């Protein structure tokens, strides 16, 4: 997806140019993992034209295998992003209807072939929200992943501008049957499945940690999940957030350190968390370590422009190991 | 329409930002006329959101009345523009399907009301090419204009990526019945109506002026037009073009001076010609003077970035009066 | 007025380019009100040349009526702005002497005609500070406004580089006789009229709220005002301010919420407050609601580049309604 | 003088930022000479504030001695420059009235002291055009230079927006009595002294070389000059000019090579010629060599952004020696 | 190699930022071929640090296989590039001594392994010029290529700032024994081997085509080459060049069309020619067709910013097929 | 030294351009002092080419005398700087081996001549770390300074990527014999001489002030210093630091105010402190005043882009006098 963002803190009505980068839930996870040195393929559909090619190139640039991308369709989905500051929130205008992936056919993808050498399949709740076709493709992929015996993770990622809560619940509910690891932010479970954390007020930024343990348990039970991870963002302002996460795993709950982040770009924060967690699990870190790795990785994401999280394993481990001072490295 | 163009001569695959301006056939004509000091209204449909608002604002900025613009729909049409150089042509990727105007309904526009105080109605062949709805809206407008007794001009502006020649011929043929002044470039009459200038080779850049007199006569006869104007571009390279125009009017043919232009941005060249011609005719200039005004205005457009032609009447008259030396004004 | 500001946090001696925007007290109020959807005209004098035209265009762009602007003179006033950070203050160098408005004649403006359809007249203390002519023009306007029975508001806006306290007191004192609503910042009443808030230390950033109630009362009594509004800025650093405001109205005092703002651009903060208050009053909001609207509007201004406050009524109401979390809107 | 120019070929009404450089007739000559390795001092008056300091710094940067600059006044003169292209001319808007030098007093400069170690004094016709004070200062300087026995050169540099032809003739006529070397462009002698080259049409770009020999002779006789140099620009378009020069010296006429220049920035072209000629003469080159050096230096100036000519003696000599191929140096 | 170039036509002493791209002889050829859809690997040595990684990424971005790049050393070679204009030549300052590849050891590369699946090996005369180690590595590669039976091409690419003519002749002479296709520009054979084209004056831009046939014959005989290709650049100015090429193959001489190019960026012109020729030969085009493909590809390179030639096979064929008009594609 | 830094907060792998400024320990001190109005010369070695010239120019621009700079060598040292944010630290990649100063010979500098009119000599621990030659040059300079009876100050400035602790201790230990004032940051004394402050944890940002008194005493005793100054940075994040300093002088300890700085650019913070202290001492301020001046100067440096501290004496005194509110100056 093409991201078009006015420079700095300019509002849309002030913009005379747009920074052009690429991003989107699954792509962000793929680039994170490639930056961690993992072999990773990104599967989507993109037009043959140069804007489509530029999207392919930007994934290749960071080491993501793009050979499985189907080429066709006319549009690269676009989202316009206006960066917020202080009390003014960031604003997203989606222009992704009719994109190549939204109008793709299930027959465009041979999942059995795609998963031949795969160990893990990750998708987000944004994909099935794009169109009925995209939802059908996600379902095909989930089934094929299960058949291939590979782990499936899903980031709920509810987007109210793409579909209704009712449709989201129905579609995501079906897909969750195939999921091993469910990832959500502090709002998703309530938005999609009506599972709310008690005593939590998202707007005021006061989260009740215990309430989220209940949320994780409820999700686990409802969908027979192996693991549930929830990111816990406390939004003080558009510039300053507290950031932490929890992991519910084999009936145990783990909480990460809490980070006070001064935001450069918060888009892709959840995706960088997902990538960190997948990295930890694929490398057989114990739960607390995986969670801390994921939380530190996504903490760092907030300091990086664009959707992609350009950090190395060493940088993440230095932070998860306790050095958050930001002192110059020279 | 939002125009997104990589800076300078960068190709799409090199772009990390896009200059964002607004343009499009009729909008370009409107801004030109406003810059000439004429009262002018632009009629279209644009979304309520900030990208739609930015389009409205950019027209207001240059003095175009925007109070008749209908607000609705989800998309502002986009075109990606890569500026060519030397032997490498400029490249346009259209992303304008499903735009607010393409999905507008005829009932969105009350042309009788719109034309209440109007003296002239101008449209281009791009609008009916967008969708069947847009073609129906164009037809409504033409009929209402005739009923209101106002002059109608149409720039054929054939775009092969928007519709087939067959569909263009049929639709434009119908609309031409209401047209007084038909404007075309050196290719349009052949592309849309199969009316070709003899002994002309567009690719090599050698145009046969006499052939275009025949084209103008044929158009006039076929559609009972009052005037036909044809721009005559000889493309030496993406940087250097020769530029002139002819006007066929009351069975007389007029040719403008010829300009050797070193191109800054040639998009909107035809629109700036149309605006110049409308200005001349509305101000009762004699045919040769109107044509020279239009040719000089559009010559200057090639030296200006963006779709819009930011020149004053005085600047155009200085050039049409013979001063093409480009000496510093201080 | 043309604002020339080095990019980001560069100092003047580091600048190789200047961002060029337009602003100035009354213009900022006009654009704010237009962004709230109010019909608003801006009255000033600007040169015929292209820099003058660019100023007109930027006001038109955001929906301000510019048809009452008198064209003439040679200079557009300029102010150079260097954005401060941390302990380093922002710096303004004025280059506005001899501007078109400073050398205008009272006879350039026919206020009776100008106020024909007006309901409110707003001016700031900067205008009469520009020149004796400008002060005379302001006086003419005030008298004509009173004659026309329209509400007059004045933002004291004392600028020590434009005139002495003595001259300011004398001139502003005369104008205040015609004023209904007086707006001031935490320093203005002391600077212009010697009316100081007790126990307040501007430099250390500790304001004594009760002291400002006394200030408002004193102003009201001295000039028989209907309303006095005072903005209360506590400056922690060039990046971080606390922001609130009070309104004294019919012998009652109202205080707004307090906002901790992380500053993008604080110029125009006071003007955005004035515009918010005028909007509230013109729309018959009760005093507390008007004040909260004005305080929220001006809080948001601090997050926006340039002098103008590009926020909608909905955005302001969302903040004044309590959502200051800055969470992404998508 | 601060030069503010929209980026690239943008028109004033399109500019959202201005490139900020410094320039002006005598400053340009000073920087050229410093770039040739000559010791050179620039004498003017500039405000104490940071914009004034930035002007001082930019001269120091390139090795010009700034210790003789008087500090005072409020304004740095400004000129806005819009770069032309093809048939569209470059446009200059002056905003230099009331600048520090324009309002300087003759007593601000102690020319006897200033000229203590000087061998050459150069000024242009722009300085006396700024104000009566500036004209008086120029006269003081000329007299002091004569008294000190140093060579005086003057570039006529007529600017119609600064003064009338009548006033120019009277003032410049007085100053010319002290001048040894008079430099003019193809229009100046006619503009200032009514001495026209026969059979020359500036607008069409056809210059009659012989006519300029007559002009040089007439100037020499009228003002008892030692040398007259005239630059001969043939303007084909704003992008392409022919450039050459002549020198009339001891009753002999010399013509330089002719250069077909593709323009990057033509402002300062005449100043770079003056600097080249002064360099040649101060280094005792024979007339033809001095002229070729000056013509080559100013030819190269057209390829350089900004007012200043950043070329070395070696680069000039390579071109005056015949290598105009522009082949990469690596 | 990191290329650092001031924006636009700024000189080094004017630069406050550098555009950062990557390039270099063999890398440019690799990217060209990848853009033509050919599988291609680039072999070099680059540091582990982020500047080294950025170089890897930029090759990956355009589809070049980077898995054979050896990581080590401390420096990425740098070249500073100042773009020339009109009579002012482009200027290159090399800062590539001690780069990772210059200090590499022959043992860093296992050429037998590297060439396992290769069909063609291309290198340039720049690599052996970097250091004795680099020359030894080139020799190892040539021998291994011969052993593996794959075609070897070499672009002489003489750089006078890297080594003397004597050293170049000796080293390149040794390497030429393994070369099948030798590519040179109009100066290289004379610079490296003293084989000069008669009646040719590079500086004045007048090339004698017949003289180059003799050069090709002489090279062929001296080194028992299969093919010799020579690019023929006539430099009119830094902006305008004529461009053509010849191929000597099986005792036959072929000349390409001649192109008048208006230059955007001429660096990498020779490399884009080499890539075009390799593409033609690998795809078994007949000699004239290969040559025209190569000449058209490199003609287009001159219109593209940076070292890399971002053109597709279709775009090249359109030009080599005769359409050089640069008309907009939309 | 050339500093190449991606714009804003971009990481190296995201950079498509680098802001190019100049800096380095001693150069930064020189520019600071020149900005305070002190006469100051900078002594180094720089190549003749344009990159070397640009370095000279940038020092001249801010008033530093560059006439003592030796010209020669091939490289200007480079450092790549990636600005950190929040928990992500800034990152420096040095590319300064083989620079002109690193390969200079002791005979390149005639220190007796250089120090003829000097009152103070300042150097940093970075210079002797560059190469053995550079260390020998530093030793020559120290001895000559002592012979000339001028004060010597040294900022330890340990850089682990340039040399080992062992080598640093040995070399710096030798040089310290000639030093009067030793300046260090909170880590240097431990890194170079193994003298650690008790109960201090740099990473967590908690400094124990008393421990640093011991450090200062130990340094004083070991090297018979007159004064020791230590800057005390508490790093909360890459954006927020606490900043203070202490001075140990004649057996007395002085602590400065503490500043909470919101960082724009922290590189050069230590150098701006050194310059402030030298300024205070050269102007005979008492110890506490000198220290406050130095601390305030370096506090302000953190708000300024680039290595250089562009602040005036007045600005520093305003802050050291207590006004840290950052209120707009207009």
Helix, strand, coil content of chain C in percent (nearest 5): 40, 20, 40
Binned at pLDDT 50, 70 and 90, residue A324 comes out as confident
The answer, for D89 touching chain C at a CB cutoff of 8 Å, is no
Q: What's the gap in Å between the CA of A147 and the closest CA on chain F?
A: 38
Q: How far is CA A305 from CA A74, D220, F12, in A?
A: 28, 66, 12
| 3-state secondary structure (DSSP) of residue B312 | coil
Residues in D touching F64 (Cβ below 8 Å): none
Q: What is the pLDDT of residues B266-306, one digit of tens each?
A: 999 999 999 999 999 999 999 999 999 999 999 999 999 99
Put simply, the answer to whether E61 touches A63 (Cβ < 8 Å) is no
CA angle C222, C227, C233 (to 5 degrees): 95
List subunits contacting chain D, requiring 3 or more Cβ pairs under 8 Å.
B, C, E, F
Find the mean pLDDT for residues A170-183: 97
For residue C94, give the 3-state DSSP assignment.
strand
Chain A residues close to B20, C-beta within 8 Å: 4, 15-18
B203 CB neighbours in chain E (<8 A) are 322-323, 325, 327
Split at pLDDT 50, 70, 90, the class of D129 is: very high
Return the residue in D2, D5, D6, D12 with the most chain C beta carbons within 10 A, the one to mutate for interface testing.
D12
Q: pLDDT digit string (tens) for A37-83?
A: 999 999 999 999 999 999 999 999 999 999 999 999 999 999 999 99
Q: Does E192 touch chain B (CB under 8 A)?
A: no
Q: Could you give the CA distance from residue F71 to residue B278 in angstroms, rounded to a whole number? A: 66
At residue D236 the predicted structure's pLDDT band, cuts being 50, 70 and 90, is very high
Neighboring chain F residues of A327 at a CB cutoff of 8 Å: 89, 202-203, 235, 238
Q: By the 8 A CB rule, do F210 and F230 touch?
A: no
pLDDT value at residue B324: 85
User: What average pLDDT does this structure show over C270-285?
Assistant: 98
**Per residue in B155-180, pLDDT tens?**
999 999 999 999 999 999 999 999 99
Instruction: Give residue F326's pLDDT.
Output: 86
Q: What is the pLDDT of residue E74?
A: 96
C vs D: CB pairs below 8 A: 73
Set of chain C residues whose Cβ sits within 8 Å of the Cβ of F60: none
What pLDDT is attached to residue E209? 87
pLDDT at B87 over 90: yes
Alpha-carbon gap, residue B194 to B164, rounded angstroms: 13
Higher pLDDT, F64 or C198: F64
Give how far C57 is from chain B: nearest CA, Å.
5
Chain B 262-281, residues with CB within 8 Å of chain D CB atoms: 262-264
Bridge partners, residue B182, by sequence: B154, B228
Q: Is D41 helix (H, G, I), strand (E, B) or coil?
A: strand
C211, C198 contact by CB (below 8 A): yes
Q: Is the CB of residue B310 less than 8 Å away from at least one CB of chain D?
A: yes
Q: How far is Cα C213 from Cα A112, in angstroms, rounded to an integer?
A: 75
More confident residue, C207 or F178: F178
Average pLDDT over residues D214-236: 95
Tell whether the torsion through CA atoms of B285, B289, B294 and B299 is positive or negative: negative
Q: Say if the Cβ atoms of B61 and C57 lie within 8 Å.
A: yes
Contact between B85 and E327 using a beta-carbon 8 Å cutoff: no
Q: What global pTM score does this model have?
A: 0.96
CB pair distance less than 8 Å for B61 and C63:
no
Mean pLDDT lowest among B6-15, D95-104, D243-252, D321-330: D321-330
Position C203 scores a pLDDT of: 72
Contacts of residue D311, defined as CB under 8 A and 6 or more positions apart, other chains included, come to: D35, D297, D300, D301, D304, E88
Q: Name the residue facing B11 among E261, E304, E326 (closest C-beta).
A: E304
Instruction: For chain F, give the percent of residues with pLDDT over 90.
Output: 93
Query: In the structure encoding, which two tokens stand for residue D85, read together?
Result: 């292209």
Assign E235 to helix, strand or coil.
strand
Query: How far is residue F235's CA from residue F239's CA, in Å, rounded to a whole number?
Result: 9
Q: How far is CA E3 from the centre of its chain?
A: 15
Per CB-CB distance under 8 Å, the chain C contacts of A235 are 325-327
- Residue C206 is predicted with a pLDDT of 75
Assign F300 a pLDDT band (cuts: 50, 70, 90): very high
First to last CA, chain C: 36
Closest to B259 in 3D by CA, of B288, B297, B221, B286: B297
- In the predicted model, is pLDDT for residue F324 greater than 90? no
A86 touches chain C (CB under 8 A): yes
Number of H helices, E strands in chain B: 11, 13
Interface contact A327-F203, CB threshold 8 A: yes
Has residue A329 got a pLDDT over 90?
Answer: no
- SS3 percent helix, strand, coil of chain E, rounded to 5, is 40, 20, 40
CA distance linking residue D327 with residue D306, whole number of Å? 23
B319 pLDDT band, cuts 50/70/90, is very high
pLDDT greater than 90 at residue F97 = yes
Contact present, D126 and D159 (Cβ < 8 Å): yes
Q: What is the pLDDT of residues C151-171, one digit of tens each?
A: 999 999 999 999 999 999 999
pLDDT(F206) > 80: no
Residue D223 pLDDT = 96
The C-alpha angle with vertex C82 and arms to C77 and C83, in degrees rounded to 5, equals: 125
Please give the average per-residue pLDDT across D13-32, as a whole number: 97
Q: What angle do CA C180, C181, C185 make, to 5 degrees?
A: 150
pLDDT the model gives residue B326: 86
Confidence tier at D115 by pLDDT (50, 70, 90)? very high
Q: Is the pLDDT of residue B80 over 90?
A: yes
The alpha carbon of residue A117 is apart from the nearest alpha carbon of chain E, in Å, by 20
For residue E122, what are the β-bridge partners?
A: E153
The arithmetic mean of pLDDT across residues C213-235, rounded, is 95
Shortest CA distance from A75: residue in chain B: B95
E310, two tokens: 């971002």
- pLDDT value at position B315? 97
Please report residues of B whose CB lies closer than 8 A to that of D159: 330
Rg (alpha carbons) of chain E, rounded to whole number: 19
The residue to which tokens 């990046």 are assigned: C239
Nearest to D20 among C16, C50, C97 (CB): C16
Residues recorded for chain A: 330
Q: How confident is the model at residue A202, as a pLDDT? A: 73
- The string of pLDDT tens digits covering residues B102-134 is 999 999 999 999 999 999 999 999 999 999 999
CA–CA distances in Å: residue B219 to residues B167, B246, B250, D60, E208? 18, 14, 13, 67, 52
pLDDT in the model for residue C208: 87
Q: What share of chain B is helix, strand, coil (3-state, %, to 5)?
A: 40, 20, 40
Backbone φ and ψ for B271, nearest 5 degrees, come out as -65, -40
Please give the DSSP secondary-structure letter assigned to residue B44: -
Query: pLDDT tens digits for chain E (330 residues)?
Result: 999 999 999 999 999 999 999 999 999 999 999 999 999 999 999 999 999 999 999 999 999 999 999 999 999 999 999 999 999 999 999 999 999 999 999 999 999 999 999 999 999 999 999 999 999 999 999 999 999 999 999 999 999 999 999 999 999 999 999 999 999 999 999 999 999 988 877 777 778 888 999 999 999 999 999 999 999 999 999 999 999 999 999 999 999 999 999 999 999 999 999 999 999 999 999 999 999 999 999 999 999 999 999 999 999 999 999 988 888 887
Chain D CB contacts of F312 under 8 Å are none
Taking CB atoms and an 8 Å limit, are B11 and E322 in contact across chains? no
């Amino acid at each position: 997806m093409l991201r078009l963002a006015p420079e700095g803190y300019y509002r849309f009505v002030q913009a005379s140019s747009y920074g052009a980068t690429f991003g989107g839930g699954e792509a962000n996870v793929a680039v994170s993992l490639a930056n961690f040195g993992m072999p990773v393929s990104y599967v989507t559909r993109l037009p043959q034209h140069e804007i489509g090619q530029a999207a392919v190139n930007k994934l290749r640039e960071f080491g993501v295998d793009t050979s499985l991308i189907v080429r066709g369709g006319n549009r690269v989905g676009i989202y316009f992003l206006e960066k917020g500051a202080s009390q003014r929130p960031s604003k997203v205008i989606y222009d992704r209807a009719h994109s190549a992936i939204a109008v793709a056919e299930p027959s465009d993808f041979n999942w059995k072939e795609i998963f031949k050498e795969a160990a893990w399949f990750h998708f987000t709740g944004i994909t099935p929200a794009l169109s009925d076709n995209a939802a059908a493709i996600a379902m095909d992929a989930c089934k094929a992943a299960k058949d291939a015996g590979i782990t499936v993770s899903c980031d709920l990622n509810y987007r109210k501008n793409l579909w209704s809560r009712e449709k989201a619940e129905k579609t995501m509910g079906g897909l969750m049957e195939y999921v091993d690891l469910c990832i959500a932010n502090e709002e998703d479970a309530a938005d999609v499945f009506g599972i709310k954390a008690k005593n939590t007020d998202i707007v005021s930024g006061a989260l009740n940690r215990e309430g989220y343990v209940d949320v994780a348990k409820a999700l686990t039970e409802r969908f027979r999940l192996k693991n549930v991870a929830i990111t816990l963002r406390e939004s003080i302002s558009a510039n300053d957030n507290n950031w932490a996460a929890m992991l519910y795993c084999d009936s145990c709950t783990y909480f990460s350190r809490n980070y006070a982040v001064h935001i450069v770009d918060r888009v892709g924060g959840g995706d960088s968390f997902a990538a960190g967690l997948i990295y930890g699990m694929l490398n057989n870190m114990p739960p607390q370590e995986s969670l801390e790795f994921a939380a530190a990785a996504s903490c760092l994401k907030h300091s990086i422009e664009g959707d992609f999280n350009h950090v190395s394993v060493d940088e993440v481990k230095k932070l998860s190991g306790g050095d958050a001072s930001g002192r110059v490295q020279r």
